[in-house]
Chains A and B, each alone.
Chain A
Amino acid sequence: VETGNTEHTWQCIPWAHEDFQQADTENLSRWKWRRTSSKSFKKALSEVKGLSSYLVLWRHDIHSIEGKFGTGIQSYFSFLRFLVLLNFIIFILMFSVVILPTIMYKYGIFNSTSAYISPKNIEDVCTIYEPSGNKGLVYFFTYLKDLLSGTGFLEVTSLFYGYYSIDATWLSVKYNLPLAYLLATFIYLALSFIWIIKRSVEGFKQNLVHDADPFQSYSNKVFAGWDFCITDPSAARLKHRSLQYEIQTDLQEEKLKQKIAERTMEEKLRIYSLRIFINIIVIAILSGCFYSIYRVTAFSQENSSVSIRNDTRTELVNLLVQYLPSMVITLANFIGPLIFSFLIGFEDYTPAFEIKLTLLRCVFVRLANIGVLLFSLWSQISSCGSDKCKPCGYNYKLYPCWESDVGQEMYKLMIFDFIIIIAVALFVDFPRKLLVTHCSCKLVQWFGYREFVISDNVLEIIYGQTICWIGTFFSPFLPAIATIKYFIIFYVKKIVLIHTCKPAARPVRASSSNFFFLVVLLIGLLLAFVPLGVSIAHIPSSKACGPFRNFNTSWEVIPVTVLGFPTPLPQIVFGMASEAFAVPFFVILCIIMFCVIALAQAHKRVIEQLREQLVLMSRDKIFLSRKIAEPEELDFIKFPEQQDNSRSICSS
């Protein structure tokens, strides 16, 4: 039997040692040389790959998790590793561009000088900003409180925006700090965007190939499903279970599709009205969450003023009030998904769509909560009752340095998120495991061991990453905190997984998970653009602190810099930003998009035609092989139409 065009022909299997001496020695030696040289090249390549894989962070841990718990959970940990690296790179960027020059000036290293341009055309009252770092004798508790809420001694450090109040430094060349700050922000957003898109393209291609060939899904699972590398009995059990679950899900979906196709008119009406009703409930719940977050933030901002620093109890209450928004958000993030997964049972969708819709709703809850928090902060900052804002454009009495305040809120959210993750691991997961192991009460046994639910964990870390993206503009050290936080979370989650979780009853595949994680992360990033855009371009920057004191808004740095370029450039740049250029550009983009879509549809049609041709070709092969095998049947015309077809294909 032919095996195609390979060098390793059938004569060797089964072996004929005696034939070896009779073979053509010359041909054989040339063939041997070709093979050994290609083999040694391949070996060298695999050695290099092997060495470089040692540099990959946590390679061994993730590999062992994959073996024991499956590829779905392994993709969660790979995703976590990706976020650690991303945050580290963002921190390196902010450090080298923004933090380092400022620190070099403030400590007088390398004889750097700086310029402080006093703001023109701004009333003096806007520039008063006296953050109280801790002076004199204070309780240790005050330091702890300041560490947790970013006030007091932390407010004046380089952690927050307010520290970077210099306009330019000179090292040997003038270094424009405001421009550098703004550009660093844009660069880290663009870098995150490009990196996520690049990673998701691979997953997208795989998904497309997988979905494009739905007629081979069963054969693929049955014949190519088993992983021959498995040498661990628990991994084998997991693989058996995941194959079983996949096949059962596919069969279920088929049955459901048939059921849906057979629905009568009144059943359809009933189901659609039920779905609309449930969606209204979902929207009501979401509005409830948003409104409560809005009120709580307003309350927290109004009541967290600096109190008498001697009373520990009021200090504690003060701390709690400061953390109130974070607590409410965490509560909403916890309750929302529970309610959604309960409600979706009534809506009668296919299982795959159910999972997707619930996840979409949970994602929306988590990310919108951050948006509502920021929105309520801004309404506080710009609340201009009775002329409070007229001189400066924002509420200068309560928020002389409003960017630092926003930075503090983001910092608190991040710290609280971290505390919650560790607290849940310590005080919920381990006690639960101890309880289930040692108590044989029926209720406890029904509760059972915890299952590692990938989607909840992923949404948790995406929520944290969105906070980091928004907060880095207001607090340049936040990426470093995020890196350390995710680093520790990796080990915490790994320990929780190995010691307290049972293997999943429904193992999930990696390829669909990877793409989904990256899509949701992208949604988080795009959502992070909105608050940043509003802060940079719309709200006037604070005149009392920060690098943008001399500008109306933070964005103004760029037009001012562009105007400073030599003569032809400003006109070109402003021309590109005007409507005369933007509208034709947009029209051309639309035309290109239509062309690409038309091309894709043409390709699809060609693929369909080729598939049909394949089927016909194989039938012709059978017919021809029968002709060759039984020449007497030449007179027997079994397939008259196909005979004509075969003649035309053979002769062409």
Chain B
Amino acid sequence: MGNKQTIFTQEQLDAYQDCTFFTRKEILRLFYRYRDLAPQLVPLDYSDKPAVTLPYELIGSMPELKDNPFRQRIAEVFSEHGDGNMTLDDFLDMFSVLSEMAPRDLKAYYAFKIYDFNNDDYICKSDLEKTVNKLTRNELTPEEVSLVCEKVIYEADVDNDGKLSLADFQHMIIRAPDFLRPHSCWAQLHAEDLYSLIVTPTDI
């Protein structure tokens, strides 16, 4: 494979390959996805590590994320400063964890952070209420929401402190049938779906 691309240095590409679950080709394709969101902001030469950040509105409009009720939390969790604005590193990081190649434990860790709305390292009742409302688009009555949250805490809270710590959450999510199913789409954006929306440049 010739070194025909001029976007990254070889060391940068190797570093990306080691730190994500993507191959060289996939990383370059993801770069072009990132760039397509705002071609005027993203330069074609990353060898000097420019500090380019795309605002959350552009990230949240991507087809994979725009129908996801948790897209804002996902962007916040993976962004550098927790405000949803993502650099290229954050972008690759996010898709790496959401891809089918990431192991379950890693996904569970990030799932915890996504559902922890107030970032206090615990999923408390208010976090759960926000989650349930986002899932059902506020169609449930407040008592129903409250009942569901109590049930979830009752089921998953092992250390009996009224909220879910990371250990409780991991302990529960690993055994959840929908999380375990091999064809479950929990946090599995297939690589092919990413490619289908790209205009691929000739011969990388």
Interface residues of A (CB under 8 A from B): 1, 3-4, 6, 8, 12-15, 17, 20-21, 28, 32, 39, 42, 206, 209-210, 213, 215-233, 235-236, 240, 243-244, 247-248, 251, 614-615, 618-619, 621-622
Q: Which are the 3 A-B pairs with shortest beta-carbon distances?
A: A12-B19, A229-B185, A236-B67
| Cα–Cα distance between A14 and B19 once the two chains are bound (Å) | 9
> Using a Cβ–Cβ cut-off of 8 Å, how many residues does chain B contribute to the interface with A?
67
Chain B min CB distance to A342 (Å): 29
Q: Give the complex CA separation of A634 and B4 in angstroms.
A: 64
Identify whether the interface residues of B are mostly helix, strand, loop, or mixed. Answer: helix
* B17 neighbours in A (Cβ, 8 Å): 32
Q: Return the chain A residue nearest B174 by Cβ.
A: A4
Q: Would you call B67 and A216 a contact (CB within 8 A)?
A: no
A248's contact among B67, B140, B186, by CB below 8 Å, is which? Answer: B140
Contact of A232 with B67 in the complex, beta carbons under 8 Å: yes
The reply to whether B189 and A229 contact each other, CB–CB distance below 8 Å, is yes
B105 adjacent to chain A (CB < 8 Å): yes
Minimum Cβ distance to chain A for residue B7 (Å): 15
- Given A223-B172, A223-B173, A232-B67; 18 other pairs, CB 8 A cutoff: A3-B106, A14-B93, A17-B12, A219-B152, A219-B176, A220-B178, A222-B132, A222-B152, A223-B131, A223-B176, A224-B173, A228-B185, A229-B193, A231-B67, A233-B67, A247-B148, A614-B171, A619-B160
Give the docked Cα–Cα distance between A20 and B109 (Å). Answer: 24
Whether B178 and A228, one on each chain, are in contact in the complex, defined by CB atoms closer than 8 angstroms, is no
CA distance A477 to B199 in the complex (A): 52
B15 adjacent to A225 (CB under 8 Å): no
Asked whether B140 lies within 8 Å of A244 as measured between CB atoms, the reply is yes
Question: By the criterion CB–CB under 8 Å, are A230 and B131 in contact?
Answer: no
* B144 located at the interface, meaning its Cβ lies under 8 Å from any Cβ of chain A in the complex: yes
Sample of 7 A–B contacts (CB below 8 Å): A3-B106, A39-B23, A223-B131, A225-B178, A228-B188, A229-B188, A229-B189
Pick from A221, A228, A614, A621 the residue with the most CB of B within 10 Å.
A228
Q: Is B69 an interface residue (CB 8 A)?
A: yes
C-alpha gap A133/B7 in the complex (Å): 82
A222 touches B187 (CB 8 A): no
Q: Contact check, B148 vs A222: say whether CB atoms are below 8 A apart.
A: yes
Distance in angstroms between the alpha carbons of A91 and B152 in the assembled complex? 52
Query: Do B21 and A8 have beta carbons less than 8 Å apart?
Result: yes
Partner of A251, one of B101, B147, B177, B190: B147
Contact: B135 with A243, CB < 8 Å?
yes
Nearest chain A CB to B61 CB, angstrom units: 12
Compute how far the CA of A32 lies from the CA of B168 in the bound complex, rounded to whole angstroms: 33
Would you call B186 and A226 a contact (CB within 8 A)? yes
Residues of B within 8 A of A243 (CB): 135-136
A219 in contact with B177 (CB, 8 Å)? no
Q: Which chain A residues lie closer than 8 Å to B105 at the CB level?
A: 3-4, 6
- The distance in angstroms between the C-alpha atoms of A217 and B172, with both chains bound, is 11
Question: Residues of B contacting A240 with CB < 8 Å?
Answer: 69, 135-137, 139
Residue of B nearest to A252 (CB): B144
Interface residue? B18 (CB, 8 A): yes
Using Cβ atoms and an 8 Å threshold, which residues of chain A touch B54? none
B115 at interface (Cβ–Cβ under 8 A)? yes
Q: Report the Cα distance A58→B119, complex, angstroms.
A: 46
* Residues A14 and B89 in contact, CB atoms below 8 Å apart: yes
- Chain A residues with CB under 8 A of B159: 618-619, 622
Chain B nearest CB from A351 CB (Å) reads: 16
CA distance A102 to B165 in the complex (A): 74
B27 within 8 A of A: no
**Which residues of chain A are within 8 angstroms of B50 by Cβ–Cβ distance?**
none
Determine whether the beta carbon of B152 is less than 8 Å from that of A224.
no
- A227 proximity list for chain B (CB < 8 A): 184-186
- A587 CA to B89 CA in the complex, in Å? 69
Contact yes or no, A210 B177, CB < 8 A: yes
CB atoms of B178 and A247 under 8 A apart? no
Within 8 A of A (CB), among B155-203: 155-156, 158-160, 166-169, 171-173, 175-179, 184-190, 193
Instruction: Kindly state the separation between the CA atoms of A219 and B148 in the bound complex, as whole angstroms.
Output: 9
Interface assignment of B2: CB less than 8 Å from any CB of chain A:
no
> Quick check: is B86 within 8 A (CB to CB) of the other chain?
no
Contacting pair A28 B18 (CB below 8 A): yes
Contact string, B21-64, partner A, CB cutoff 8 A, digits 1/0? 10100000000000000000000000001000000000000011
Would you call B190 and A229 a contact (CB within 8 A)? yes
With both chains docked as a complex, state the minimum distance between the C-beta of B143 and any C-beta of chain A, in angstroms: 9
Q: Which residues of A contact B12 (CB under 8 A)?
A: 17
User: B89 — which chain A residues lie within 8 A by C-beta?
Assistant: 14-15
- Cα–Cα, bound, A206→B180 (Å): 11
- Asked if B120 lies at the interface with its beta carbon under 8 angstroms from chain A, I say no
Residues of the A chain whose Cβ atoms lie less than 8 Å from the Cβ of B115: 223
- Give the distance to chain A from B85, nearest Cβ to Cβ, in Å: 15
Kindly list chain B residues whose C-beta atoms are within 8 Å of the C-beta of A223: 111, 115, 131, 169, 172-173, 176, 179
CA distance A3 to B167 in the complex (A): 11
Of chain B, the residue at the smallest CB distance from A206 is B177
Contacts A219-B152, A229-B185 given; indicate if A248 touches B178 (C-beta within 8 A): no
Q: What residues of B have a CB within 8 angstroms of the CB of A251 in the complex?
A: 144, 147-148
A236 surroundings in chain B (CB, below 8 A): 67-68
Point out the residues of chain A lying under 8 angstroms from B111, CB to CB. Answer: 223
Asked, given contacts A247-B136, A615-B158, whether A218 binds B186 with beta carbons under 8 Å apart, the answer is: no
Residues of chain B within 8 A of A225, CB atoms compared? 135, 178
Within 8 Å CB of A20, what residues of B? 11, 14-15, 18
Shortest distance from the beta carbon of B168 to any chain A beta carbon, whole Å: 8
A-chain residues with CB within 8 Å of residue B68 when the two chains form the complex: 226, 228, 230, 236
B75 within 8 A of A: no
Q: How far apart are the CA atoms of A230 and B69 in the complex, in Å? A: 11
Residue pair A226, B23 in contact (C-beta under 8 Å): no
Q: Considering residues A32, A221, A247, which has the most beta carbons from chain B within 10 angstroms of its beta carbon?
A: A247
Residue B184 contacts which of A217, A224, A615 (CB distance < 8 angstroms)? A224
Residues of B within 8 A of A15 (CB): 15, 19, 89, 93
Contact of B175 among A12, A213, A622 (CB under 8 A): A213
Distance of A617 from chain B, by nearest CB (Å): 9
Chain B proximity of A226: nearest CB distance (Å): 6
Q: How far is the CA of A469 from the CA of B61 in the complex (A)?
A: 53
Q: Which residues of the partner chain B approach A224 to less than 8 Å between Cβ atoms?
A: 173, 176-179, 184, 186
| List of B residues within 8 angstroms of A39 by Cβ | 23, 101
When chains A and B are docked, how far (Å) is the Cα of A215 from the Cα of B152? 9
Contact A230 B67 (CB under 8 A): yes
Q: Do A618 and B144 touch across chains, with their CB atoms under 8 A apart?
A: no
Q: Is B124 an interface residue (CB 8 A)?
A: no
Contact of B109 among A1, A28, A244 (CB under 8 A): A1
Most chain B CB neighbours (cut-off 10 Å) among A4, A8, A209, A619: A8
- Whether B103 sits at the interface, judged by CB under 8 Å, is yes
Nearest-Cβ distance from residue B175 to partner chain A, whole angstroms: 7
* Smallest beta-carbon distance A74→chain B, Å: 13
Q: B21 touching A228 by the CB < 8 A rule?
A: no
Which residue, of A3, A42, A219, has the highest number of chain B Cβ atoms within 10 A? A219
